[in-house]
Amino acid sequence: MPIKVTLLGAGSGFTQPLFTDILNIDGIDRGIIGLVDVDKKRLDVNVKLMHRILELMGKTKWKIHASTDRKEVLKGTDYLISTIEVSGVQCVRHDNDIPLKYGISQCIGDTIGPGGIMKALRTLPSFVEILEDAKRLCPNALIMNYTNPMSMMTLGSIRSTDQPFVGLCHSVQGTSWHLAQIAGVPHFDMIWRCGGINHMAWFTELSYKGKDLYPVLLEAMEDKEVYERDPVRLDFMKHFGYFVTESSGHFSEYVPYYRKRKDLLKKYCRDNYLGGESFYADCWPGWRKDTDKARREMAAGKREINLGRGHEYASDIIEGHLFDRKKIIYASVANTGLIPNLPQTGVVEVAVVVDKRGYTPTYFGNLPEQCAAMCRSNMTVFELCVQGVLNNDREPIIHAMMLDPLSAAVCSPGEIRQMAEELFGAEKNYIPDWCAAPKAGAKPKKRKRTGKAKPKADGAAAVSSMAARNVK
């Protein structure tokens, strides 16, 4: 019987590499490719692209089932992958520019901080609805999420469904290759253990032929050429003792040390992914256009398509589960005692075994306390934001922004509340009605004599976020 793999957000750049990986799995000779996206033009391009890939790879027994309505495609799905992007590029400038007015400098702004919290507020409500449909239409499907903010998406999801679920990223495997390169050792001969949270997992063991590689890394970072390729992460390793999984630009947003003053930005952050201010907001609209153009050219046979298998975990999950070929992936999962010194109600990123049983997370143990403390500071933000979304309560979301390490390093609580209200007003067409503006006559809860500034709430009634959401 053919398998069915459905991708939500199929107008994205994930479609071609994920399905090329899947089509390379040894033993799968037939199946159904489900593609769902609310943007019909982008969906149609990827349908044409997938037909071309099937032709080039000689996969004549595969079929494509595509629609802008997910309910038409979800039925019978065995593996459900989400790469949805709610609002497209409509909010990226708000996410970046409004916090910047308050002195909060972001490089990417899609995982934590004001930008990450707003992205969760736009995305998680729609994804919860998707999970409800999946439970009804494909209750046996294994679910994989690639959409950021990964930890918040995973935390909200595992509290909304009992289907097998993992959050997937490529930062662990990517960083392991990066560390092997810096240390000058063969990647596949390097021994390592890694655990923490998504984008903040730690390589607590790193060795080659029994030799600890951390002294090698500390020596290597004295080379200016090596240091300039990853200044924030190498500096953090020097002071905290361990290397973290996300890029210097991303990681600089997760801690209170590197972006709170112009002199620190100049000293530690560089252009582009190395910490450039407003990098994502400035570049993403252009990237989107370039990616769309590339896909049109690939679909038309005017651009070469890489038909090899890449490093994303989705195909490993399908292969491991379908054929009981044991695979080890790194994924975001519920912390069921896996890392004891992190909150047991939260989500952690650890090694996960995939076989015919599905997902089996592995025990990691305690993190070094300084690393655990960094993770806990982020996990508090995740917890409050998810509580707010699932309980239709805007106040925990504002508290999440107040406890964000970067925002708290720059602003007072009153300033953060005012910023939150400004963000809610600017993005009211893409967030739930209950959060778009406070109820008439409502005042934020606060203690007396806190000195908090009064929020600048948008008094206009928000249009229905359900109608405006970019996901069906």
Catalytic residue among 51, 65, 94, 170: 170
d(C-alpha 360, C-alpha 5), whole Å: 21
51 belongs to the catalytic site: no
d(C-alpha 382, C-alpha 397), whole Å: 9
Catalytic residues: 170
